[in-house]
A = this chain, B = another copy of it.
Amino acid sequence: MLLVLELVGIAVFAASGALAGVRARLDVFGVVILAMTTALGGGIIRDVLLDVSPPTSLRDWRYLLVTAVTGLIVFWIHPHMAKLRRAMLLADAVGLGLFTTAGTITALELGAPAYTACLIGMTTGIGGGALRDVLIREIPVVLQREIYAVAALLGAVVVVVGRDIGLPQGPTVLAGAVLIVTVRVLALWRKWNAPLPRES
- Please list the residues of chain A having a beta carbon within 8 angstroms of any beta carbon in chain B: 21-22, 24-31, 33-34, 44, 48-51, 53-55, 58-59, 61, 64, 75, 78, 80-81, 107, 112-113, 115-116, 119-120, 130, 134-137, 139-140, 142-145, 147-150, 193-200
CB contact between A49 and one of B21, B27, B55, B200 (< 8 Å): that residue: B55
CB contact between A25 and one of B29, B33, B197, B200 (< 8 Å): that residue: B197
A-B contact list, 6 entries, CB within 8 Å: A27-B145, A28-B197, A29-B147, A29-B148, A81-B200, A137-B137
- Name the 7 nearest CB pairs between A and B, nearest first: A51-B53, A27-B194, A30-B143, A22-B197, A28-B194, A58-B119, A29-B194
Q: How far is the CB of A14 from chain B (nearest CB, A)?
A: 15
Q: How far is the CB of A190 from chain B (nearest CB, A)?
A: 15
Check if B197 sits within 8 Å of A75, measured CB to CB.
yes
CA distance A194 to B137 in the complex (A): 22
Check if B194 sits within 8 Å of A54, measured CB to CB.
no
CA distance A27 to B196 in the complex (A): 4
